[in-house]
Amino acid sequence: IGETGLILPDPSTGDPKRPQFGTRFLTDPRQVFQHNAWDNVEWTEDQEAAAKKKVQENSQPLPPEKQDEYDSRANEYWNDFYTIHENRFFKDRHWLFTEFPELAPQCSQNHESHPADTGDGQQDNLNREQSREVADGDFPGSSATYRILEVGCGVGNTVFPILKTNNDHGLFVYCCDFSSTAVELVKTNPEFDPERCFAFVHDLSDVEANYPVPEGTLDVIVLIFVLSALHPNKMQSSISRLARLLKPGGVMLLRDYGRYDMAQLRFKKGRCLSENFYVRGDGTRVYFFTQDELHELFTEAGLEKVQNLVDRRLQVNRGKQLTMYRVWIQCKYRKAPLELPETQD
């Protein structure tokens, strides 16, 4: 799975600029092999047309019975994946706190506000007080004042950097994965701290399954390259279920595959399950999103847009003189904060 933290806002969306690190722009195509990667690379019309054509050529869906098999055995395929790769699949997500400062809002390196903070301390105190009231009960992290859930945690690529970087004493992190093998790898990692973290097996697509926290108690929910693994028919109900766990002012963070990413264009015939939804050679599945599709999923769940960006990045293999175009989408959507009580003049 490819990842990068270097994203520039799409001027057409009106999303505000944020501080960036290491941005590198390709202004002279003759210099393409001078560096390993270039940021915010615009596609030509011919490039986009060629990508669409390639996708259409390889989009004949597999027979329904074969699709049902991949659906029913999804857990088995992901367990096999983590059994084979184990911690070798761990990646350093150095971009996490630049792009998602909500994961460590108290750290000095972060300049953006708390997701529930409107710039008014009274609003922030109101939301935290409401969190304590709702969370009054016996469950993991019930005494915490800042709660983060990562869905699809894998071997801890996001969880452990959060625990290491965010030293807020009120922090508690929940993490879950469809794969029991992955969750076991998280729990046996020397950096796992049961006093600050709770790891559990969970099927995101099973909306009837319980989470270990009451509704309305989470500050942040993180989905990094995980929603794309679900069957498209189950995405809306899964996001809506997660949205109920957010407290007022809480935020959902997502980073995932965008339409016509290099990974989509590499799929051969016989790997397509449905439109823009594919099965890899190891049996795991992946969907490639557009911004509009994700916007609809989040707003249908009652959340408001904070950010919805496309990251187009050109990666270069200088040894083989190859260029690879990556497309990722990054989103932040928020549950409306509580209204402040009216004050008497």
User: Where do the domains of the chain lie, and which CATH numbers do they carry?
Assistant: 29-96+141-335 (3.40.50.150)
pLDDT at residue 238 greater than cutoff 60:
yes
C-alpha–C-alpha distance, residues 174 and 150, integer Å: 6
Which residues, including other chains, have CB under 8 Å from residue 198's CB and lie 6 or more apart? 140, 141, 172, 173, 174, 175, 212
Residue 177 has pLDDT above 50, yes or no: yes
Q: What is the DSSP letter of 29?
A: G
pLDDT in tens, 11-34: 444 444 444 434 655 455 554 444
Q: From CA 28, how far away is CA 162, in angstroms rounded?
A: 38
Quote the CA–CA distance of 163 and 158 in Å, as a whole number.
9
> Taking Cα atoms as reference points, which of 59, 4, 60 lies closest to residue 224?
4
191-227 pLDDT, tens per residue?
Answer: 999 999 999 999 999 989 999 999 999 999 999 999 9
Query: Residue holding tokens 């071997």?
Result: 155
DSSP 48-98: HHHHHHHHHHT-PPPPHHHHHHHHHTHHHHHHHHHHHHGGGG----TTHHH
List residues bridging with 218 in a β-sheet: 246
Confidence of residue 64 (pLDDT cuts 50, 70, 90): confident
* Percent share of the chain, pLDDT over 70: 70
The pTM score is: 0.78
Structure tokens at 226: 């995980």
